[in-house]
């Protein structure tokens, strides 16, 4: 199976105080670190969706080899970035692993766990302590449906719930916390 990666890095980071794609931790921008996680897990191609301060992100980040697209409607929420990213995917991919830039504790091992489940009909999401999280695996058969219902900041949440996405425990290989504010940093 061919598994693509989709990195959502378009938000303005209102609660963080700047776009999270521009946050640096342990010497690397989150957008670079998250891209490396997807690549190192074997995802190809990897589509990176930028939005807020996209030119600054391009200037500072090392996005070589990634398919970079810009979501001009980024302020409307993650749903629009998910739609833009899905539309940019190579039609030969069987599935895509979706990872937002603000989950720096997600590891290569967690992404590989999802890539191993990839089929065109796959639909799965990470679970941490019983709570849903990232990464999310979306088989090609679901791309149109996810795009049709992805609005606001909910992304694919409602679609995943309505279509019985498989919960994949990842506590043993990753920390799936979203980092919304600087004080949330690990």
Q: Structure pTM? A: 0.96
Does 64 reside within a domain? yes
**Mean pLDDT of the chain, nearest integer:** 94
Give residue-wise pLDDT tens across range 121-132: 999 999 999 999
Does 138 reside within a domain? yes
Does 185 reside within a domain? no
How confident is the model over 85-98, as a mean pLDDT? 95
Residue-level pLDDT at 186:
66
Assign residue 79 the CATH number of its domain: 3.90.550.10
Which residue range(s) make up the domain with 25?
A: 3-178
The CB density around residue 183, as the number of other CB atoms within 10 Å, is 7
Does 141 reside within a domain? yes
* CA angle 16–19–23, rounded 5-degree value: 80
Asked if residue 185 has pLDDT above 80, the reply is no
Query: Where residue 33 falls among pLDDT bands split at 50, 70, 90?
Result: very high
Which one is predicted more confidently, 108 or 181?
108
Does 183 reside within a domain? no
Does 184 reside within a domain? no
Percent of the chain predicted with pLDDT > 90: 83
Tell me the C-alpha distance between 167 and 128, whole Å: 9
Asked if residue 183 has pLDDT above 90, the reply is no
Tally of structural domains, the chain: 1
In sequence order, which residues have a C-beta less than 8 Å from that of residue 103 and are 6 or more positions away?
34, 133, 134, 176, 177, 178, 179
Does 65 reside within a domain? yes
Does 56 reside within a domain? yes
């Amino acid at each position: 199976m061919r598994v693509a990666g989709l990195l959502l890095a378009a938000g303005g980071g209102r609660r963080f105080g700047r776009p999270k794609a521009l946050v640096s931790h342990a010497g690397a921008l989150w957008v670079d670190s998250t891209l490396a996680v997807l690549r190192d897990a074997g995802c190809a191609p990897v589509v990176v969706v930028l939005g807020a301060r996209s030119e600054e992100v391009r200037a500072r980040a090392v996005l070589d080899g990634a398919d970079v697209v810009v979501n001009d409607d980024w302020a409307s929420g993650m749903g629009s970035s998910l739609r833009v990213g899905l539309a940019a995917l190579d039609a030969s991919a069987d599935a895509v692993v979706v990872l937002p830039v603000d989950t720096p504790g997600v590891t290569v091992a967690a992404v590989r766990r999802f890539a191993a489940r990839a089929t065109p009909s796959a639909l799965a999401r990470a679970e941490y302590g019983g709570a849903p999280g990232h990464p999310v695996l979306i088989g090609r058969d679901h791309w149109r449906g996810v795009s049709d219902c992805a609005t606001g900041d909910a992304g694919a949440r409602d679609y995943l719930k309505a279509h019985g996405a498989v919960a994949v425990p990842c506590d043993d290989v990753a920390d799936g916390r979203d980092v919304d504010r600087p004080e949330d940093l690990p």
